Each structure stands twice: as structure tokens, then as C-alpha cells.
Amino acid sequence: MDNKSSKPSREEVFRSLPLPRALRIMILPAVISQLIVLVYNMADTFYVAQTGSPYMVAGTSLILPVFNITTCLAGLAGVGGGSLVSRLLGSGREDEARRVSVFSIYLGIAVAALFSLLMGLFMRPILLLLGAGGGNYEFARQYALCVIVAGGVPTVLSNVLSNLLRSTGRSAAAGFGIILGGLLNIALDPLFMFVLLPEGREVLGAGVATCLSNCIACIFFFVALARGGAGSVITFDLRVGLAERGSIAGVFAVGVPSAVASLLFDLDYVILDKLMVSYHDLALAAIGIVLKVERFPLNVGVGICQGMMPIVGYNYSSGNRQRLLGTMRLSLILGLVTAAASILLYELFATDLVRLFLDDARTVELASSFLRARVLATPLMFMSFFTVFLFQAFGRGDISLLLGTVRWLAFNIPMLYILNAVFGMYGLVWAQVTADTLTVAMSLAVYLRFRPPLLRPAP
């Protein structure tokens, strides 16, 4: 760099900048984009709730689990491709990294288009399976047409391009595109719902706003790629050639576990809701609020890991043990400090935070007690997915798949049923802490057993 104000190159971020600055450059945009995504995921439900129509709220809520599948599809191509691109750059194979980026982009387009097509063709049976019917069916159909059938490809492609750009050190551009889409959605929702479209079409307006926001975000990423010039690692240009067979397998080796982990994460929340509804409506409302509030520190943790991952992958591939260990250590400390701060904040201000969502005294009391218990799992949850991100960065999709499936299928989900049967409603609340204590112990054992030779103590 010529001076401190100039923009550091990819090699400087990955190899030579002081680690605190390098991690700040990579992590800060990722954390902000994660928080914006969290807020914008709540925006449609919030604005639709202002109509006072339970049918409209139910219609949009029914589609959210299906919409979340787009995150899984984006992880398949984006996380799998991004992890490999960082490692290829670290080993000096820029041309192969370019070919992997092309494969990942078109893989994302293909799987998103197929998903949207299937949703369009089998809309009615899928909606009926989800529980749509009566007064909410038409609202669910309108919303699905906009955000999945019409908006599936730009939504998935935006997230794929964000992951790929971040893998080359362009974390600011990666984060800004996602932030732009989120802020536009928050702003366009009320415009389309309450101004441009007639009364009774509010759900359609929310769907159009979401679709349009994701399309604009996708256009931003196209522009960002174009500004990278002909030599950009991330490109749509098919003329660079087909990635090697081993590279294609490497994309799926990391991408598939990422997609599976996202699906199991959503499944855990669905099961928790289903079990909680057996008590009373106030309990269901309370846990619904808690699941939203607790996501803030968790999304910050995900942002930390997303920003860390390219630096880890690059230095693991290049063999720079000192920078690799420093990146891991500093990222872990940052995540644990964030988790500790969230525990302090939620223990002190749980009631005030819950009242931001509703003011029913009994529901607030329940939600506050639920939040104070579940927030204790925050550092454990961070350490769990920190380990998963590490093995993704190392290219060990088999280990990340093991960690993810055991965490959800052997610990989290069974613990919900066991503690619910033994302790009832509060057993469900404490299941997260119990399961993640076991998960962290397992993650540590797996890390010590399967960490790459570069991270083992010298003999």
C-alpha cells in the first residue's frame, strides 16, 4: 500500500495486514449484513400484521419455511464455492478459482430456477401440505408467487455472489449488496402495501416489494462484478472453461453440508413451535418472540465466522500457520465476548426487549423468563458453528456434515422431546443449553481428532 488511506489488496488483507485490521475489513460488513437480513426477514410479517388480518399473517407465515430453503440453496453453491475459491487463491491457483466461481454461479442459478419451477407447478399441493386453506390460501399463493416463483433466482444468486465476493476479500461489496436488498425491502413494503396497491392486496404488495428488492440487490452484484474488470476472479464468463472434476466435487463436499445444516436449523425451530403449541397460545407467542430476539447475537456470530472463513481458508492453503492460528484465536475471542455481552444485556433487560414486540403482561412474563434461560446457550452455539465454519474453510465438508447432523439429529431435536416429556414447557426452553453443552464437548473432541496437520503441535 502507498499509504494508510489506500484500499488494501486481497493479498494484503489475507497475508500481511495486522490481523485486527484484516478481520475488521472482512467481519464488519458481514455482521452488518447479517443484522439487516434479520430485520428484513421480520419486515414483511411486521407490516402484514398492521392490517389486523389473521388470514394475511397466516398466509405469509406459512411460506417462510419454504422461502428459507432459498438460503440452503445459496449455501450449496455460495458457501461450497466460496470456501474452495479462498483455498485455491491461497495455493496460487487463480485460474482454477475463476473456473470454480463460474461453476458455482451457474449451479446457483440452476438449482434456484428448478426450485422456483417446481413451486410454480405444484403450488396447490405444497400449500395444502403446509396447512394453507380457507381464508389464508389465496394470501399464501400470492406471497409464494412473488418471493419464490418470481424471486427465487435473484434471491439465491444474490447470496451466492455475496459469498463468492467475500471469498476473494471483497467483504465490503459482499455485505453492501445484501444490506441494500434488506433496506429496500423495509422501505418498499409500506409503499406497495398501503399506497400503490388497493386495500386487500397488502400481502401481494409485500411479496412484490421483497421480489423487487432482491432483484435490485442482484443487479448491484452484477455491477460490482463488472467493476472488477476482465481479470476478476468472480465472473460469469463461460470462456474461462470448466472447473476440474476434483474442484466440482470440492464445491459439493462443502456446499451440501452447509445446505443440510441450514435445513436442520429450521427444522429445530419448527419442532420447538409444534411442541410449545401443546401448552397454550401465550406460550407459543412467547417462544415466537424469544426466537426472534435471540437471533441478534447469533447472527453477529455468523457474521464473524463468515468474515473469518476466507482468511482461514487462504492461510490454511498457503501453509501460514501463524496467521491461521491468529485468525482463529481472535475470531473466537470476538465471538465469545459478543455472546457474553448478549447474556448480560438480555438478563438485565429481557422484559424491556420483549415489550418491543407486545405488551400483554402474562406473555411478557413468560417470554422474559424464556429469554433469560435460552440466552445462556449463546456462547455454546457460537462455539458449535465456529467449529463447523473452520472445517468448511479447511475443505472438510465431511466433518462439517458430521458436526451439523449430530448436533441437530442426535442432540438438539431429541433433547426437545426428552426434556418436554420430563419437565414440560420449561424443559423445551432449557433444551438448547443442554443440547449445546453436549455439542461443544463433541465439537472439541472432533476438532482435536480431525484438525489438519498444520494445526497440530510440532513433535
Q: Report pLDDT digits (tens) over 384-439.
A: 989 999 999 999 989 999 998 999 999 999 999 999 999 999 999 999 999 999 99
Higher pLDDT, 265 or 154: 154
Beta-carbon contacts of 409 under 8 Å, excluding residues fewer than 6 positions away, are: 264
Q: How confident is the model at residue 283 (pLDDT cuts 50, 70, 90)?
A: confident
Q: How confident is the model at residue 50 (pLDDT cuts 50, 70, 90)?
A: confident
What is the structure's pLDDT at 371?
Answer: 93
What is the structure's pLDDT at 459?
Answer: 63
What is the structure's pLDDT at 134?
Answer: 75
Across all residues in the chain, what is the average pLDDT? 89
CA dihedral 291, 293, 295, 296 (to 10 degrees): 180
What is the structure's pLDDT at 274?
Answer: 77
What is the structure's pLDDT at 4?
Answer: 45
Segment 447-458 shows an average pLDDT of 89
What is the structure's pLDDT at 458?
Answer: 67
* Residue 18 scores a pLDDT above 80: yes
Q: Which of 59-63, 84-88, 98-102, 448-452 shows the lowest mean pLDDT across its residues?
A: 59-63
Q: How confident is the model at residue 1 (pLDDT cuts 50, 70, 90)?
A: very low
Quick one: which of 164, 161, 181 has its CA closest to 10? Answer: 164
In 50-79, alpha helices (H):
54-67, 69-74
What is the structure's pLDDT at 6?
Answer: 64
Give the pTM. Answer: 0.87
In whole angstroms, what is the distance from residue 69 CA to residue 118 CA? 13
Within 10 angstroms of residue 216's Cβ, the number of other Cβ atoms is 17
Within 10 angstroms of residue 191's Cβ, the number of other Cβ atoms is 13
Sequence spans of domains, the chain: 18-243, 256-459
What is the structure's pLDDT at 281?
Answer: 66
The angle, 0 to 180 degrees and rounded to 10, between the axes of the packed helices 295-318 and 281-293 is 40
* Residue 276 scores a pLDDT above 90: no
Q: Report pLDDT digits (tens) over 73-107.
A: 888 999 999 999 999 999 999 999 999 999 999 99
Segment 309-335 shows an average pLDDT of 95
What is the structure's pLDDT at 84?
Answer: 94
Which one-letter DSSP state was computed for residue 458?
P
